[in-house]
Amino acid sequence: MLVTDGVITRVEPGLGTDGQVLNAAGMYVMPGAVDVHVHSRDPGFPEKEDFASLTEAAAAGGVTVVLDMPNTVPAVDSAGVLEAKAALAHSKARVDFGLWGLMRSSTTPDELEEMAAAGAVGFKAYLAYSFSLSRKQVLYAPGSEDPDLEPPADYGTLARLAPVVAHLGLPLAIHAEDPTVLAAFRRPLLTYQDLLESRPPEAEAVALSAAAAVAREAGAHLHVAHLSSALGLQAAEDAMAIGTTLTLETCPQFLLLSADDFDRVGPAMKMLPPIRTAADRAALVDGLQRGVISMVSTDHAPHTDEEKARPLEEAPSGSPGVQTLYLSCLQLAKDMGDVWLAPRWVSESPARLAGLENSKGAVAPGYDADIVVVDPRRKTRVAAHEMRSRQRHSAIEGKEFDFAIAQVYLRGEPVGQGSKAQGRMVRPALVVR
Ligand code: NCD
Ligand code: ZN
């Protein structure tokens, strides 16, 4: 392979021995992963994670682009905040990164256009999470009478702004939980069963169907974050069948675990939406195999080890995962009989979502030399204390994969200890329609 200025120019044998030579005999040479759903916590919660620790974990796991969610503090709800976050991230990033903008219930069309011009990869609406005006922070609660809490973006917000997003040619991502369904099932969380009953799959299906109707009418591309249920998948397939432009991501934790694992794992696997039943898990694996679910992202959402050690009710939701994305997907793909499905889920499809299909997502001439060399003769056992995230817990602790990440390159530079590789911000090619 010949790489010039970080870009692949030729992929063929016998190109000589100038430059770096890696003997990859018996290994897979795959494109770096594009994780479209991570939470860097930077700025906001450095005790949980920051851009340096996030991107070191990403690099170690073969993720060469991360798209960071906008619920950092201050939340990314304007071009000014986005530009400041981009500068901060650029000073620390070990892999390339893109930034999502936040769609609040009060967001204006101008704010979306300005965020797009500043390089947002798309917009995220949290349908069940309110916004603290004084703290400039997305809160994991639907709101109350408190005047400091702005209500979540709702279907009205989507109807008002989806035409603008469609015009900008960017994806509109949703956290698909309907707050009215959640309100009807609220209860104390003493057991994992309580958690499941408090976040029923109807919440996902209702939010997804309503948002899909709105997006279809506006001609917008709807992207559903962390799909977790069979019912949600059915709602998505129904919407696709009538012509909605809809992409689905699910996460390794939903494909590898089910509620039955809670007794063993504990609150490390508390996340929202929750890891559901074995039947949900099977439906998601099937959806991935059929290609209806086109990508796998992590929803890497670290909280501190101390926070996650609290009882179920108090433990915050979310868990780290970026470092185990590629390995998890290689294993799932191998179990389906074709390891090459993995780079489709973690690289090719996500690059397309991010508007990066001309530079990321393939090992081919003209593409950035973001490369993962995978060794199928070495196994990896997940041990969170050895990982690069600032946190030392994992929902899939102890899982064994039939692969190891042997080497990772970012635009031709090896990443890892002592490496010179430096992340850059990626921007979708803006096609204003
Ligand atoms: C995420 C977080 O902690 O930021 N938590 C989670 O349980 N998934 C928020 C989110 O992605 O909804
Ligand atoms: Zn979410």
Ligand 1 atom with the shortest distance to the CA of 129: 12
State the Cα–Cα distance between residues 7 and 359, nearest whole angstrom: 9
Are the C-beta atoms of 236 and 290 separated by less than 8 Å? no
- What are the residue ranges of helices labelled H in 61-191? 79-92, 109-117, 155-168, 179-184
Q: How many CB atoms lie within 10 A of CB 108?
A: 13
| Ligand 1 centre distance from Cα of residue 4 (Å) | 39
Q: To test the ligand 1 pocket, which listed residue (47, 227, 299, 390) has its Cβ within 8 A of the most ligand atoms?
A: 299
Look up tokens 């690059």; give the residue: 351
Q: What residues line ligand 1, using a CB cutoff of 6 Å? A: 39, 71, 175, 271-272, 299, 301, 317-318
Look up tokens 């990772």; give the residue: 408
Q: What is the pLDDT of residue 212?
A: 99
| Ligand 2 centre distance from Cα of residue 232 (Å) | 14
Strand order in the sheet with 137-139: 137-139, 130-132, 149-150
Which regions of 309-382 does DSSP assign to beta strands (E)?
371-375, 380-381
End-to-end CA distance of the chain: 37
pLDDT one-digit tens code per residue, 189-229: 999 999 999 999 999 999 999 999 999 999 999 999 999 99
pTM of the model: 0.98
**Closest by alpha carbon to 29, among 336, 405, 379?**
405
Largest CA distance in the chain: 69
Q: To test the ligand 1 pocket, which listed residue (36, 67, 71, 319) has its Cβ within 8 A of the most ligand atoms?
A: 71
| Ligand 2 centre distance from Cα of residue 272 (Å) | 7
> Whose Cα sits closest to atom 6 in ligand 1?
318
Residue 108 Cα to chain centre, angstroms: 25
CB proximity list for 423: less than 8 A, separation 6 or greater: 55, 89, 90, 93, 94, 95, 96, 97, 410
Residue 428 Cα to chain centre, angstroms: 16
State the Cα–Cα distance between residues 369 and 142, nearest whole angstrom: 43
Pairing outcome for strands 404-410 and 413-414: antiparallel
Strand order in the sheet with 33-38: 33-38, 63-68, 96-99
Q: To test the ligand 1 pocket, which listed residue (35, 39, 182) has its Cβ within 8 A of the most ligand atoms?
A: 39
State the Cα–Cα distance between residues 131 and 149, nearest whole angstrom: 5
DSSP for residue 314: T
State the Cα–Cα distance between residues 150 and 148, nearest whole angstrom: 6
| Ligand 1 centre distance from Cα of residue 286 (Å) | 24
**Closest by alpha carbon to 383, among 331, 334, 323?**
323
Look up tokens 């939903």; give the residue: 254
Q: What is the pLDDT of residue 144?
A: 77
Q: What is the pLDDT of residue 145?
A: 84
CA distances from 135 to 85, 130, 139, 148, 286 (A): 17, 12, 10, 9, 42
* Dihedral (CA of 321, 322, 325, 328) sign: negative
| Ligand 1 centre distance from Cα of residue 300 (Å) | 8
Q: How many CB atoms lie within 10 A of CB 92?
A: 18
> Whose Cα sits closest to atom 4 in ligand 1?
301
Are the C-beta atoms of 260 and 268 separated by less than 8 Å? no
Torsion of CA 259, 261, 262, 267, to 10 degrees: -110
pLDDT one-digit tens code per residue, 287-332: 999 999 999 999 999 999 999 999 999 999 999 999 999 999 999 9
DSSP β-bridge partners for residue 34:
65
- Topology (CATH) of 2-414: TIM Barrel (3.20.20)
| Ligand 1 centre distance from Cα of residue 269 (Å) | 12
Spell out, as residue ranges, where the chain has pLDDT lower than 50: none
Is the bond preceding residue 273 a cis peptide, omega within 30 degrees? yes
